[in-house]
């Protein structure tokens, strides 16, 4: 099994594949102040198994295209949506976030939690801009320094892992430079990492290792995730995901 298939197998067991929570979805939606008179066209890009997609479908009068490039995540979302009576509102699409097939000016809202870093924040917000209707909303979460002086060890780690890591002020400037008017921002609170993401993930480590007979590749993935959790425990005051809400100008 290659590394991507192993990651897919590990994260299939978790309720979400990145930091977030039902509360922060609601908070972001409040900032959007959507007019729900007619059915909204929404895409959740890098949806994973769709924790937020399902919540959006419950709350909004919307047709939601849930995009991911891992087919087993989408199959899980299809099955959950069916069980929850939400299948008619959610359409899964197996596709790269860098090659979305949407028509220009067709989307009321593009939602993406913990995923845009795969393209890079600046490239992603630029590439997705044409798909939004004028006045359409972008809701995106992105790793963000909580203040301007994060610890040196942490800065070195993230600059190797994702050189675009930055402060909220600089992320907002990127949005403005790419045709968006920022309308809201908040940092995800601690429980989005601990209770909603890392605790369920850590509970999967042993069953995952057992399924893969402690293979070198599976052990390396667990070690990497344990190191990430330890780094977060040590420096949680210095960084989080920022949730950015912006309108297409
Ligand atoms: N949004 C979900 C959540 O918050 O639980 C998942 C976040 S997870 C950190 C990132 C997701 O992006 C994964 O499901 C992964 O498969 C997907 N992804 C990564 N690169 C992608 C790409 N190039 N195109 C489409 N999806 C991608």
Distance from the alpha carbon of residue 170 to the mean position of ligand 1, in angstroms: 23
What is the band of 87 on the pLDDT scale with cuts at 50, 70, 90?
Answer: very high
pLDDT digits (tens, 9 = 90+) for 150-209: 999 999 999 899 999 999 999 999 999 999 999 999 999 999 999 999 999 999 999 999
Determine the Cα–Cα distance for residues 187 and 55; give it in Å rounded to an integer: 20
What does the alpha-carbon distance between residue 123 and residue 126 come to, in Å, rounded to a whole number? 5
Q: Give the Å distance between the CA of 155 and the centre of ligand 1.
A: 23
Q: Is 16 in the pocket of ligand 1 (CB under 6 A)?
A: yes
CA of 197 to the centre of ligand 1 (A): 14
Domain ranges (residues) in the chain:
19-189+238-248
pLDDT at 188: 98
Q: Hey, whose CA ends up nearest to atom 14 of ligand 1?
A: 48
Which residue from 62, 63, 67 is spatially nearest to 128, judged by alpha carbons?
Answer: 67
Q: Give which of 72, 58, 70, 63 is closest to 22, Cα–Cα.
A: 58
Q: What is the pTM of this model?
A: 0.97
Q: 248 CB under 6 A from ligand 1?
A: no
Q: How far is the CA of 12 from the centre of ligand 1 (A)?
A: 12
Compute φ and ψ for 42, nearest 5 degrees: -130, 145
CATH architecture group of domain 19-189+238-248 = 3-Layer(aba) Sandwich (3.40)
CB of 17 closer than 6 A to ligand 1?
yes
- Ligand 1 atom at shortest distance from the alpha carbon of 19: 4
d(CA 86, CA 64): 10
């Amino acid at each position: 099994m290659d590394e991507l298939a192993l990651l897919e197998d590990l994260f299939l067991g978790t309720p979400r594949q990145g930091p977030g929570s039902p509360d922060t979805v609601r908070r972001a939606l409040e900032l959007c102040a959507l007019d729900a008179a007619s059915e909204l066209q929404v895409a959740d890009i890098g949806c994973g198994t769709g924790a937020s997609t399902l919540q959006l479908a419950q709350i909004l009068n919307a047709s939601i295209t849930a995009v991911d490039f891992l087919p087993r995540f989408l199959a899980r979302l299809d099955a959950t949506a069916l069980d929850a009576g939400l299948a008619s509102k959610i359409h899964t699409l197996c596709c790269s976030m860098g090659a979305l097939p949407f028509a220009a000016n067709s989307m009321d809202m593009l939602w993406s939690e913990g995923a845009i870093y795969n393209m890079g924040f600046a490239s992603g917000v630029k590439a997705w801009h044409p798909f939004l209707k004028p006045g359409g909303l972008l809701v995106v979460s992105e790793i963000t320094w909580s203040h301007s002086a994060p610890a040196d060890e942490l800065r070195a780690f993230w600059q190797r892992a994702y050189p675009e890591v930055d402060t909220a002020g600089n992320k907002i400037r990127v949005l403005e430079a790419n045709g968006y008017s920022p309308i809201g921002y908040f940092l995800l609170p601690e429980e989005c990492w601990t209770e909603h993401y890392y605790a369920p993930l850590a509970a999967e480590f042993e069953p995952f290792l057992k399924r893969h007979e402690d293979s070198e590749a599976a052990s390396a993935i667990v070690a990497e995730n344990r190191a990430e959790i330890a780094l977060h425990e040590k420096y949680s005051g210095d960084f989080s995901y920022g949730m950015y809400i912006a309108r297409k100008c």
